[in-house]
Amino acid sequence: MIIGLGNPGTVYKNSRHNLGFKTVDLLCAKLGLHLSDQRFQTLSTSTNYHNKKILLACPQTFMNRSGIAVKHLFEYYRPDNRNIMVIHDDIDLDAGRIKIACGGGAGGHHGVESVAYHLGTNEFCRTKIGIGRPRYNEAIEDFVLDPFYDDQQATITEALHIAVKAIESFVLYGVDAAMNTFNSLTTGKKLRKKEVKR
């Protein structure tokens, strides 16, 4: 179950908060899919990917109420928690940085908080896409709903493609393999290993 978090509507389409939606849309485009199923307060679709059944979904309940839709999906499809991947923006990561995690706190992200609350657990997987911190003292509430700075656009575009590859790795090989591969990557003209501090 691949869940992209974001806010519905054209006004939010290019906001920092909508990277989850953008990742799911990009994966759908790659697989030739459309989010045509409107049940459960989401836009979703399902397919077989290398003999594995996957569901791609974008809740339409707005970010802070994402968990309502995710709970409906969970109750219908009943996946194992470690087969749920929630994709979202992360203000504590540099813009373009990708981090895969399973469990852990929400880090103040209200969409993740809502999912954890309605599922009754935080033991699900997450693909975090960094958006960085405000440069110009913008309020966080405004910053996440604004588009990226012009000089970040190329980095974020690359990050979204990396996120898609991370989701594919998660589906094919599991969350541990995805973490091992993609938590050490950063963006640039070529994907390069980020030095691991010990």
| Residues with a known catalytic role | 17
Pairing of strands 2-4, 85-90: parallel
Q: What are phi and psi of 100, to 5 degrees?
A: -95, 135
Nearest to 87 by CA among 63, 61, 53, 71: 63
Which stretches of the chain are assigned E, i.e. beta strand? 2-4, 42-49, 52-59, 85-90, 98-102, 125-130, 185-186, 192-193
At 126, is the secondary structure helix, strand, or coil? strand
